[in-house]
């Protein structure tokens, strides 16, 4: 399997893809062709466990001569050691046909752990083999940071620089990062939104010379490996919920940076009979792009679902590329327009192809609260404010529903992207009993470690300087 940039047809192997953030032409990596999964194969996979499905997926996307099967299985087994349920992900079948797939049983109580743990293991595998060191620059709107920190802390091969928007994430999201200190973790609380920080980090991520010199990359969802691993939970969701293999299933996804949506669209391209439905919170630029064929770079506002407070969803580029039959030209034009004019439109025929696949809607804070309440009343079951956007769509209470393709009378699965225990503020706002987790109780009393970064600091310079000091330290060893 080879990978290509979304902007020009240049090819990369899996190892290069794993360490790459943006390609030199500014694009993101995607598989050159999509491996297809037949109904016969799906039938064979029907009773596989989640980790077995991950192994099958990796087998389709990573060449045996890059990572041999036994090494692959070993590193994936390592990745899943810390999950608190035997099955790693679990399906909850609730009242009125509501299916919720809990993807948050990892260390940081959010779905990011599923792919992050594997990505870190793959990175470590190649770094050990090459005797090299890697610095990941990670910008987080809440959950990516803690997941990257837990995945990589205390590894000798990787340092992680994490920047998060100060006062714009939940208390527990912050506490998870600030208490997880280790010498290879460098945490900055920045006075800006995650999109603002992203723009600064972008200066570093796209500085090809610098990246190469210091072996810098990211564990944000620009990293192909995360997208690849996430394909597995869509397949798992399908196999658990489809009445018969071959029947369609709606997969309802709380969308932020659209990494999860990209994985879903890829799974569909592999011929999984699924209908992707993306739900945004009030930061609804993805929904607006789908509904009006106009992608606008707007400002982000703080919502009850902070991990979705994103206007600059990097992975939209991958989705456009895949759904316009891998059209490098369309992507290049759209992205140039978007980055220069803060606005872009797709050609009509390309837009139509997107609409044929994806449905979207929007859940405001008010609707999030309604869905959390109703889910509790009907099931005595807590959902987090992100998951609530998907559940709200299932309940039919989201706004501006844009559902050209979504089929009624078809089973749906709502992806539960985080545990409600991580979002105590929202649970309280919804007037529900508190939701506890031993993982959160364990954080009490641990000393917090982070550095505050003011607005007037040049954030890109700050990142560059930190990278340089890490790489100097590493060279001395």
Ligand X SMILES: *Cc1c(COP(=O)(O)O)cnc(C)c1O
- Residues of this chain that interact with ligand X (CB under 6 A) are 110, 112, 143, 221, 254-261, 307-308, 386, 417-418
The CB-of-127 to ligand X minimum distance in angstroms stands at 25
Smallest distance, ligand X to C-beta of residue 143, A: 3
- Give whichever of 165 and 257 is closer to ligand X, judged by the CB atom: 257
Nearer to ligand X, 272 or 279 (CB): 279
Give burial (CB, 10 Å; 0-12/13-18/19+) of 337.
middle
Nearer to ligand X, 57 or 255 (CB): 255
**Closer residue to ligand X in complex, CB, 242/272:** 272
Strand partners, 162: 138, 187
**What are the residues whose beta carbons fall under 8 Å from the beta carbon of 43, sequence distance 6 or more?**
245
Minimum CB distance to ligand X, residue 416 (Å): 9
* The token pair that represents 276 in the structure block: 């992707």
Residue 31: CB minimum distance to ligand X, A: 18
Quote the strand ranges of 315-419, DSSP E.
343-344, 359-362, 399-402, 412-416
- The span from the CA of 291 to the CA of 310, in Å, is 18
| Nearer to ligand X (CB atom), residue 215 or residue 437 | 437
Phi and psi angles of residue 277, each rounded to the nearest 5 degrees, phi first: -120, 120
Q: How far is CA 445 from the centre of its chain?
A: 30
Could you tell me the smallest distance in angstroms from the CB atom of residue 240 to ligand X?
20
Separation CA 284–CA 143 (nearest Å): 19
Which residue lies nearer to ligand X by CB, 157 or 283? 283
As a whole number of angstroms, the distance between CA 388 and CA 419 comes to: 11
Q: Which residue has the tokens 């990142």?
A: 463
d(CA 371, CA 258): 22
Minimum CB distance to ligand X, residue 301 (Å)? 16
Minimal distance in Å, beta carbon 323 to ligand X?
A: 16
Contact 423, 166 (CB under 8 A): no
Torsion of CA 258, 263, 269, 273, to 10 degrees: -100
In whole angstroms, how close is the CB of 386 to ligand X at the nearest point?
3
CA distances from 259 to 90, 191, 325, 437 (A): 21, 25, 19, 26
Complex with ligand X: residue 255 or 430, whichever CB lies closer: 255
Which is closer to ligand X, CB of 255 or CB of 427?
A: 255
Which secondary structure element, helix H or strand E, spans residue 16, and what is its range? helix 14-19
Strand partners, 12: 3
Cα(414)–Cα(280) distance, rounded to whole angstroms?
13
Of the pair 177, 470, the CB lying nearest ligand X is at 177
- Least CB distance to ligand X at residue 316 (A): 10
């Amino acid at each position: 399997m080879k990978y290509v940039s979304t902007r020009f047809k240049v090819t990369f192997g899996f190892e290069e893809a794993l360490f790459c953030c943006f390609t030199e032409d500014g694009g993101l990596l995607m598989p050159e062709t999509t491996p297809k999964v037949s109904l016969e194969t799906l039938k064979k996979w029907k009773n596989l466990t989640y980790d077995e499905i991950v192994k099958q997926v990796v087998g389709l996307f990573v060449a045996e001569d890059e990572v041999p099967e036994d090494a692959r299985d070993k590193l994936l087994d390592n990745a899943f050691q810390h999950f608190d349920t035997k099955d790693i992900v679990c399906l909850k079948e609730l009242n009125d046909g509501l299916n919720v797939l809990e993807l948050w049983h990892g260390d940081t109580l959010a779905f990011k752990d599923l792919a992050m743990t594997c990505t870190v293991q793959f990175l470590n595998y190649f770094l050990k083999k090459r005797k090299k060191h890697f610095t990941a620059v990670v910008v987080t709107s809440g959950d990516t940071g803690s997941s990257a920190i837990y995945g990589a802390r205390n590894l000798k091969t990787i340092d992680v620089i994490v920047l998060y928007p100060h006062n714009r994430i939940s208390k527990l999201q912050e506490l998870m990062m600030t208490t997880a200190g280790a010498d290879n973790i460098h945490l900055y609380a920045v006075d800006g939104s995650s999109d603002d920080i992203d723009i600064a980090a972008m200066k570093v991520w796209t500085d090809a010379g610098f990246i190469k010199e210091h072996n810098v990359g990211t564990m944000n969802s620009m990293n192909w490996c995360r997208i690849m691993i996430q394909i597995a939970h869509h397949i798992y969701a399908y196999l658990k919920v489809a009445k018969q293999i071959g029947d369609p299933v709606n997969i309802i996804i709380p969308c932020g940076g659209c990494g999860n949506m990209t994985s879903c669209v890829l799974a569909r391209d592999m011929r999984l009979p699924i209908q992707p439905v993306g739900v945004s919170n009030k930061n609804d630029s993805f929904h607006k792009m789908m509904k009006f064929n106009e992608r606008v770079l707007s400002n982000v506002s703080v919502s009850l679902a902070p991990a979705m407070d994103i206007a600059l969803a990097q992975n939209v580029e991958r989705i456009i590329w895949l759904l316009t039959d891998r059209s490098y030209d369309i992507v290049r034009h759209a992205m140039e327009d978007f980055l220069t004019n803060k606005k872009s439109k797709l050609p009509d025929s390309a837009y139509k192809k997107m609409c044929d696949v994806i449905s979207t809607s929007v859940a405001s804070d008010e609707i999030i609260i309604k869905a959390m309440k109703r889910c509790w009343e009907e099931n005595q079951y807590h959902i987090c404010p992100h998951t609530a956007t998907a559940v709200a769509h299932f309940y039919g209470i989201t706004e501006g529903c844009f559902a050209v393709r979504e089929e009624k009378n078809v089973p749906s699965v709502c992806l539960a992207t985080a545990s409600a225990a991580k979002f105590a503020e929202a649970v309280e706002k919804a007037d529900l009993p508190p939701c506890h987790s031993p993982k959160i109780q364990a954080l009490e009393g641990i000393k917090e470690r982070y550095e505050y970064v003011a607005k007037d600091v040049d954030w890109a310079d700050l990142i560059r300087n930190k990278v340089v000091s890490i790489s100097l330290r590493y060279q001395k060893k």
